[in-house]
Structure 1
């Protein structure tokens, strides 16, 4: 295998008769409980060569039911190789349910020819693959797509100019906007960039090579994220330079021409392809999924939304039985004319917190009344608005010893809900805590804050987090967000800060907590305090951040 930054030499095509898949159905099913019964035995044709838009060979594996019959086809295009987990979870399991499954390595990865270039070739190569499918004797003209993360992005790219055969899509923990994967308000998602760079560079080489790369990144993470300057420091951890990652880090502005065409918004325009969307409450790409759901609904496109108690990775691990069942029901309904497995409501979401349970809803987000919570000088949250706009309290953020990130919507194994008590004991973290609840409070929808804040350097960030404090004092993160500040000491900035959408119930005896700090490192690249670009900064200046009394936390509370 080769790096996605170099031309990849394709493996020779295998023209032998169909074989059994590399993993047995019994091994695959032993991993998960509750999967639907097998309908067919699965066959496998590995190493087929499909010409890309420019003629580069795209190496492709074909899984299929080993039965006579007329079966629809699923297209799965991946930059992460064609082995685990794509072979068992998509190739074998869906073939056993009565689908031809094409698992293909994207250009420049997994033995496919050409050079991988983040997002730019996926639409053309997807259409070229559909052209190849039309020539296959087993293709019946009915096509669906399925896959997670970047494998969802290639689906949206194909739907920019959808071929007539495309009848349904399933996007799991899906990527929709590459800019938003790497940046928020001009702030680099540092840890995510390193994780994505490692996956794109090594995962298609096989599970052993990928495992070694992940361990190398973990060992060198501290040195990388504390480097001055930051740019270029990751090359040693990834094994070599990755030009596309350098470019991503060098273009933090969403309006930069570099990002033109990156988000395939045309995939949401009528007539639209019926699309099922799946995410988790702590998925790093949950915001992508919620925005995509809204666009599809506004366009009148048939769509369904499943939101589980998952992170980006756990959705495909412990959440796989639910994710697979949802995906299979959608594909059968739209490719096989069998709607029997569909839910009666378009939205199913897991409510976290007290009395955690699934909720079936007619829409998302709901539109409950927004309740405002205001901070007080003594660290409380109250429903009483302030009488002035004076500075309330302040803290010192030191980029040389930055406030660490803890849990939340990450791509790494540290994602999810975590006890924030130790984090909140730091001098550079403010907390404002509401009274003990005598009735449960259910938050359903987008959480946000409007923060009035000033800094002594004119630069800084503000990280805002909603937490649930239980009767024992454990503070668990629910949702959060970050914004970049441009202020003066005399004139505070008034920042409206989206903190993501959530579904969470604060139980009786619990308290609502608002946490405010100057960053979350290495989730976000630290602010140097000087105005210098973060990836090029060689000098750090401590920042005094003052929060003003007219700040407010806004919660969409269900009656």
Structure 2
């Protein structure tokens, strides 16, 4: 026992140093495999971390996750809290790491989470006060509980996640996020059969080969070695209007949240939903704080920021410690090496500024005045337009050299003049593209890039909108008398400095593969389609149809 305590102390000190904090040696005990029975009879297992000198009932920090209660996750989440005297209960979600039932992501977390919360409050070691922390999927498990808890949770920290996680992340703009979904399916499909999938040699190549092959319905077997229920749900419920994922959408309950602390990154795939949630929380009057750094999903600096934020947030709300200092919003202005403190998101002093597509591949701050003018390209699902970089579940992501994409004849490129001063873009980014397509089923992908003085084009932000006769016309797609569609595309929000001497560039194309499913042009479900039809695009930039972006200039 003494050897175990010494080992735990050493590991804890190393973890604290990795988190940038002074080592703490508060002693705690861990009670493993505590069974919690769900209303349907399934038993979920959890571990309780309790201060060794606990003299009576205490608050509980609840963490519910599908990735295991021990190992790396135990050292990153419950252990740092326990070393600082917090009582933690970490539970494996249904169907994972000893918990009964089947893991069907996003479908049972509300019922299981509420039952676990009720059980916790009945335990003699819990004083009735409960907080929740965690990111990504175990940010979702917070959204599934926090707005519904009665009495309310003391506070929550849903990092790198979204209140509407399934639709917002896996079908943005109606386009299935196949690379993210299949990559995650590979991870959860293998996690209890062979360790961390991220460390497997050739993971990305295996994933790409699986996405290249058609049909995609059984792509999970190619990457995980067996069917993965989530991939089958994702593939089978991608049609517009399918309400299968409605139970995972908690955005309507935002006003019922307790005080919230959020951490995310500009290259995190959950960013857009995370920021929408924060804006809604502020508008509803819910106390909320936000940190956005230059991070991709799950990278160490992002996790470090989340854990350190939790320590301060929990100390304040559970133990009466000092409130976090500074403005409620702290964001990194990329390419400037600086951080900004704001009172709200998006910033009130941004100036929404149009940037127009113009003839001869130009960008202009002035609206076009000429007669009908359009550029054309053809999208071929047999050779889908690729993408590089961007907000992905795992690398390589972030910024990348876009030259291979921009050289293709199925990508329109519009470039602006050299900037004579720095340009700071801080806030939401949107585009309106006036387009006529030869097929009713098509995608419109828009990307904003930063072109440096050497001519290297690197992505800043992007977005996609899937056109489907079942969803056109809509609030974001209108049809003109001439059949030209006005397509509004939501790009990821950003905080980015385009330096003096650089130029802005906009790409318009018919896809971004393998990040999003190729559009077969036939209307067949993406999972079962095996062929496809080429689609011709006309993109207009004239006085009557001024395709443009709206940039948030600070």
Question: In structure 2, do the counterparts of structure 1 residues 433 and 407 end up closer, same or farther at CA, with 3 Å as the change threshold?
Answer: same
| TM-aligned CA deviation for residue 199 of structure 1 | 2.8
Match of 2:339 in 1: 358
- Cα distance in 2 for residues equivalent to 1:198 and 1:147: 22
- From 544, 548, 551, the equivalent of 2:536 is 544
**Deviation per CA, 1:121-175, whole angstroms, max 9, x where unpaired?**
2122222222332343332322110011110111111124214262010111113
- Cα distance in 2 for residues equivalent to 1:297 and 1:162: 20
Question: In structure 2, do the counterparts of structure 1 residues 100 and 17 end up closer, same or farther at CA, with 3 Å as the change threshold?
Answer: farther
- From 481, 491, 505, the equivalent of 1:499 is 491
- Cα distance in 2 for residues equivalent to 1:366 and 1:149: 25
Q: Is residue 228 of structure 1 aligned with residue 220 of structure 2?
A: no
- Cα distance in 2 for residues equivalent to 1:145 and 1:539: 47
What aligned pairs does 1:144-155 form with structure 2 within 5 A after superposition? 144-155=131-142
- Cα distance in 2 for residues equivalent to 1:495 and 1:304: 33
- Cα distance in 1 for residues equivalent to 2:421 and 2:266: 24
Match of 1:123 in 2: 110
Match of 2:172 in 1: 184
Question: In structure 2, do the counterparts of structure 1 residues 201 and 393 end up closer, same or farther at CA, with 3 Å as the change threshold?
Answer: same
Q: Is residue 516 of structure 1 aligned with residue 518 of structure 2?
A: no
Match of 2:549 in 1: 553
Question: In structure 2, do the counterparts of structure 1 residues 308 and 330 end up closer, same or farther at CA, with 3 Å as the change threshold?
Answer: same
What aligned pairs does 1:298-317 form with structure 2 within 5 A after superposition? 298-314=283-299, 317=300
What aligned pairs does 1:38-437 form with structure 2 within 5 A after superposition? 38=24, 40-68=26-54, 71-164=58-151, 166-177=153-164, 178-203=166-191, 205=192, 208-211=194-197, 215=201, 217-270=203-256, 272-314=257-299, 317-340=300-323, 342-353=324-335, 355-367=336-348, 368-388=350-370, 390-437=372-419
Deviates more, 1:194-203 or 1:63-72: 63-72
Query: What secondary structure does 1:348 align onto?
Result: strand
Q: Is residue 30–residue 47 contact of structure 2 (8 Å, CA) maintained in 1?
A: yes
| TM-aligned CA deviation for residue 40 of structure 1 | 1.2
Deviates more, 1:450-459 or 1:465-474: 450-459
Q: Is residue 28–residue 88 contact of structure 1 (8 Å, CA) maintained in 2?
A: yes
Root mean square deviation of aligned Cα = 2.4
Question: In structure 2, do the counterparts of structure 1 residues 172 and 85 end up closer, same or farther at CA, with 3 Å as the change threshold?
Answer: farther
Q: Is residue 72–residue 336 contact of structure 1 (8 Å, CA) maintained in 2?
A: no
Query: What secondary structure does 2:41 align onto?
Result: coil
- Cα distance in 2 for residues equivalent to 1:229 and 1:46: 43
Give me the TM-score of the superposition, normalised by structure 2. 0.91
Query: What secondary structure does 1:538 align onto?
Result: coil
Give me the TM-score of the superposition, normalised by structure 1. 0.90
- Cα distance in 1 for residues equivalent to 2:322 and 2:172: 39
Question: In structure 2, do the counterparts of structure 1 residues 266 and 546 end up closer, same or farther at CA, with 3 Å as the change threshold?
Answer: closer
| TM-aligned CA deviation for residue 215 of structure 1 | 4.5
Q: Is residue 440 of structure 1 aligned with residue 434 of structure 2?
A: no
| TM-aligned CA deviation for residue 223 of structure 1 | 3.0
Q: Is residue 64–residue 96 contact of structure 1 (8 Å, CA) maintained in 2?
A: no
- Cα distance in 2 for residues equivalent to 1:119 and 1:237: 21
Question: In structure 2, do the counterparts of structure 1 residues 253 and 295 end up closer, same or farther at CA, with 3 Å as the change threshold?
Answer: farther
Match of 1:4 in 2: none
- Count of aligned residue pairs for this structure pair: 535
| TM-aligned CA deviation for residue 288 of structure 1 | 1.4
Q: Is residue 402–residue 459 contact of structure 2 (8 Å, CA) maintained in 1?
A: yes
Question: In structure 2, do the counterparts of structure 1 residues 283 and 17 end up closer, same or farther at CA, with 3 Å as the change threshold?
Answer: same
**Deviation per CA, 1:410-448, whole angstroms, max 9, x where unpaired?**
102112111212322222222111111111111111001
Match of 1:13 in 2: none
| TM-aligned CA deviation for residue 331 of structure 1 | 1.4
| TM-aligned CA deviation for residue 351 of structure 1 | 0.6
Match of 1:12 in 2: none
Query: What secondary structure does 1:38 align onto?
Result: coil
Match of 2:16 in 1: 29
Query: What secondary structure does 2:45 align onto?
Result: strand
- Cα distance in 1 for residues equivalent to 2:240 and 2:24: 46
Q: Is residue 197–residue 203 contact of structure 2 (8 Å, CA) maintained in 1?
A: no
Deviates more, 1:77-86 or 1:382-391: 382-391
Query: What secondary structure does 1:332 align onto?
Result: helix
| TM-aligned CA deviation for residue 455 of structure 1 | 1.9
Q: Is residue 159–residue 267 contact of structure 1 (8 Å, CA) maintained in 2?
A: no
**Deviation per CA, 1:62-121, whole angstroms, max 9, x where unpaired?**
223333456532111011111343200112111111211111100111110122222222
Q: Is residue 284–residue 409 contact of structure 1 (8 Å, CA) maintained in 2?
A: yes
| TM-aligned CA deviation for residue 386 of structure 1 | 1.1
**Deviation per CA, 1:244-269, whole angstroms, max 9, x where unpaired?**
42122222245323223220235413
Question: In structure 2, do the counterparts of structure 1 residues 86 and 33 end up closer, same or farther at CA, with 3 Å as the change threshold?
Answer: closer
Q: Is residue 419–residue 476 contact of structure 1 (8 Å, CA) maintained in 2?
A: yes
- Cα distance in 1 for residues equivalent to 2:93 and 2:236: 24
| TM-aligned CA deviation for residue 28 of structure 1 | 2.2
- Cα distance in 2 for residues equivalent to 1:319 and 1:247: 29
| TM-aligned CA deviation for residue 280 of structure 1 | 0.4
Deviates more, 1:513-522 or 1:47-56: 47-56
| TM-aligned CA deviation for residue 216 of structure 1 | 6.7
- Cα distance in 2 for residues equivalent to 1:308 and 1:280: 5
